[in-house]
């Protein structure tokens, strides 16, 4: 009886595929791409196999990609094709064979700001990469497992400093915490090299904490809030699929999380700048091998992406680190190697004069990957941006010292540049990212130093 049932499913599915091809209905291209993937990961085990779906896609589109799933995603992203009605819920039901919670995110009735066809499964279930919620912290003297030169994210808010070692964050990618009385979510997309600190007090007056959906969009993690189960773009801080799409802040602007200050530096440098800092404990309650490079060191050391991204620019190398600023409607990317060499950069983003300070250079991690062994890679670098008004700055006597054109001495702090006579220039929050990640969401970006 089971064999008969399976045969019936096969016949129905193949019949449907033939009707799509006979009708030359390209609305179903997205469906066939998803079915190709579903067969690869065994989310679907009956009906046409992967090769049959690949050949059907070739026939329907005139392309010759066959079973190249990533190739199909790149090709589709550059088209203006639209899937058939009911597509989003259908996709949710298919992916529910991997994790039934996936269908809670993917529903036709949910408003969307992105193409659901570009949402892909990242290889883990919901919170399969577990966030750290209010992680235990310890004093520096108790963190004897931390090496002086290893990379940490540093956060300083309201006179409280905290370090988040990347050897821990690589495994968790999200922490919901409180620093200086401010709830924050440190959202770290390992795939696009972006560690972004968001204020958990959303501009609509709500308080949100976030989890990992298991989905990706243009090789960037989609996080979800635990109140509404809306999917959010980790990179832009905007809701993209779910109840909060179309929501506004208290001033009537589209809802977007506010940035908080964060730097990537070494433990040694952070501790020297903030001897009162604490650091999250390596005893997280999860069984992980918390060593630098262990989960993704091979990816960090490689020049390519792990998942397809169709919207690209060759103005910089794919995984060059940039420091990105967005001010109003303007976006600008600064190649990290360039600004680290210049140390102090006087520039403008749109009409806003800014100064970037990157006087400590780049951070190189020497680690060990769980499969390939020893790896060495760039983890980013310490960058801070500030308003500069009409001043022009130059490097001072140390990495935290600047000189203005009159010889006045200014000091770099986490909150502002402090100058002669109590003058103060506020910090402007930005973040590091791989170039491909920044460009995929801000293709209209300016690039510092571009011709």
Count of C-beta atoms within a 10 Å radius of residue 234: 31
Amino acid 3: pLDDT: 44
23-33 confidence digits (pLDDT tens):
999 999 999 99
Percent of the chain with pLDDT over 90: 95
pLDDT of residue 21 exceeding 80:
yes
pLDDT of residue 4 exceeding 90:
no
From residue 304, alpha-carbon distances to 54, 175, 333 in Å are 24, 27, 20
pLDDT of residue 170 exceeding 60:
yes
Q: What strands lie across the sheet with 321-327, from one edge to the other? A: 431-434, 321-327, 330-335, 446-447
249-275 confidence digits (pLDDT tens):
988 999 999 999 999 999 999 999 999
* Beta bridge partner(s), residue 210: 225
pLDDT of residue 47 exceeding 70:
yes
Amino acid 450: pLDDT: 81
pLDDT confidence band for 11 (50 / 70 / 90): confident
Cα-to-chain-centroid distance, residue 339: 22
Amino acid 111: pLDDT: 98
Phi, psi angle pair for 23, to nearest 5°: -85, -10
Report whether 372 contacts 299 (CB < 8 A): no
Report whether 307 contacts 216 (CB < 8 A): yes
CA–CA separation, 284 vs 336, rounded Å?
A: 32
Residue among 262, 56, 246, 111 nearest 175 (CA): 262
Amino acid 295: pLDDT: 97
Please identify which residue in the block is written with the tokens 């799509």. 20
pLDDT of residue 58 exceeding 80:
yes
pLDDT confidence band for 451 (50 / 70 / 90): low
283-342 confidence digits (pLDDT tens):
999 999 999 999 999 999 999 999 999 999 999 999 999 999 999 999 999 999 999 999
The DSSP string of 382-443 is --EEEE-TT--EEE-SSTTEEEETT--EEEE-SSEEE-GGG-EEEEE--EEEEHHHHHHH-T
CA–CA separation, 210 vs 197, rounded Å?
A: 12
Residue among 260, 286, 430 nearest 357 (CA): 430
pLDDT confidence band for 7 (50 / 70 / 90): low
Q: Where are the domains of the chain?
A: 2-121, 132-280, 297-447
Burial class of 169 by CB neighbour count within 10 A (0 to 12, 13 to 18, 19+)? buried
Percent of the chain with pLDDT over 70: 98
Q: Average pLDDT in the 371-395 region?
A: 97
Report whether 178 contacts 193 (CB < 8 A): no
100-145 confidence digits (pLDDT tens):
999 999 999 999 999 999 999 999 999 999 999 999 999 999 999 9
Please identify which residue in the block is written with the tokens 């960058």. 383
Amino acid 261: pLDDT: 98
347-362 confidence digits (pLDDT tens):
999 999 999 999 999 9
Amino acid 241: pLDDT: 99
Report whether 65 contacts 58 (CB < 8 A): yes
Residue among 325, 321, 318 nearest 336 (CA): 321
Report whether 305 contacts 420 (CB < 8 A): no
pLDDT confidence band for 194 (50 / 70 / 90): very high
């Amino acid at each position: 009886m089971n064999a008969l049932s399976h045969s019936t499913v096969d016949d129905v599915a193949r019949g449907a595929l033939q009707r799509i091809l006979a009708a030359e209905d390209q609305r179903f291209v997205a469906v066939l791409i998803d079915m190709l993937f579903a067969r690869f990961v065994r989310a679907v085990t009956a009906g046409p196999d992967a090769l049959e779906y690949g050949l059907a896609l070739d026939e329907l589109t005139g392309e010759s990609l066959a079973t190249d799933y990533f190739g199909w995603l790149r090709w589709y992203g550059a088209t203006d094709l639209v899937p058939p009605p009911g597509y989003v819920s259908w996709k949710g039901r298919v992916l529910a064979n991997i994790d039934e919670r996936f269908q809670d995110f993917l529903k036709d009735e949910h408003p969307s700001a992105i193409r659901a066809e570009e949402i892909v499964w990242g290889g883990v279930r919901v919170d399969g990469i577990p966030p750290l919620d209010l992680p235990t912290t310890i004093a520096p003297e108790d963190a004897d497992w931390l090496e002086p030169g290893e990379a940490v994210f540093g956060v300083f808010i309201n006179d409280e400093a905290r370090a988040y070692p990347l050897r821990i964050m690589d495994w968790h990618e999200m922490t919901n915490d409180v620093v200086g009385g401010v709830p924050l979510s440190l959202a770290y997309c390992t795939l696009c090299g972006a560690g972004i600190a968001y204020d958990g007090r959303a501009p609509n007056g709500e308080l949100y904490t976030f989890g990992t959906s298991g989905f990706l969009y243009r090789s960037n993690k989609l996080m979800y809030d635990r109140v509404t189960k809306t999917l959010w773009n980790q990179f832009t801080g905007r809701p993209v699929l779910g109840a909060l799409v179309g929501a506004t802040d208290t001033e009537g602007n589209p809802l977007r999380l506010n940035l908080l200050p964060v730097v990537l530096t070494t433990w040694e440098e952070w501790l020297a700048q903030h001897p009162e800092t604490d650091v999250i404990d390596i005893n997280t309650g999860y069984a992980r091998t918390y060593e630098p490079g262990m989960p993704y060191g091979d990816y960090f050391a490689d020049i390519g992406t792990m998942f397809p991204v169709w919207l690209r620019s060759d103005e910089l190398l794919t995984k060059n680190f940039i420091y990105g600023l967005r001010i109003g409607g303007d976006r600008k990317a600064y190649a990290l190697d360039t600004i680290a060499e210049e140390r102090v950069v006087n520039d403008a983003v749109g009409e806003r004069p800014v100064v970037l300070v990157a006087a400590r250079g780049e951070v190189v991690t020497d680690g060990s990957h769980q499969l390939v062994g020893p790896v060495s890679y760039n983890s980013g670098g310490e960058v801070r941006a500030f308003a500069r008004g009409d001043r022009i700055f130059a490097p001072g006597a140390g990495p935290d010292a600047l000189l203005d054109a009159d010889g006045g001495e200014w000091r770099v702090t986490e909150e502002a540049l402090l100058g002669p006579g109590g003058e103060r220039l506020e910090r402007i929050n930005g973040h590091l990212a791989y170039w491909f990640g920044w460009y995929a969401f801000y293709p209209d970006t300016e690039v510092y130093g571009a011709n």
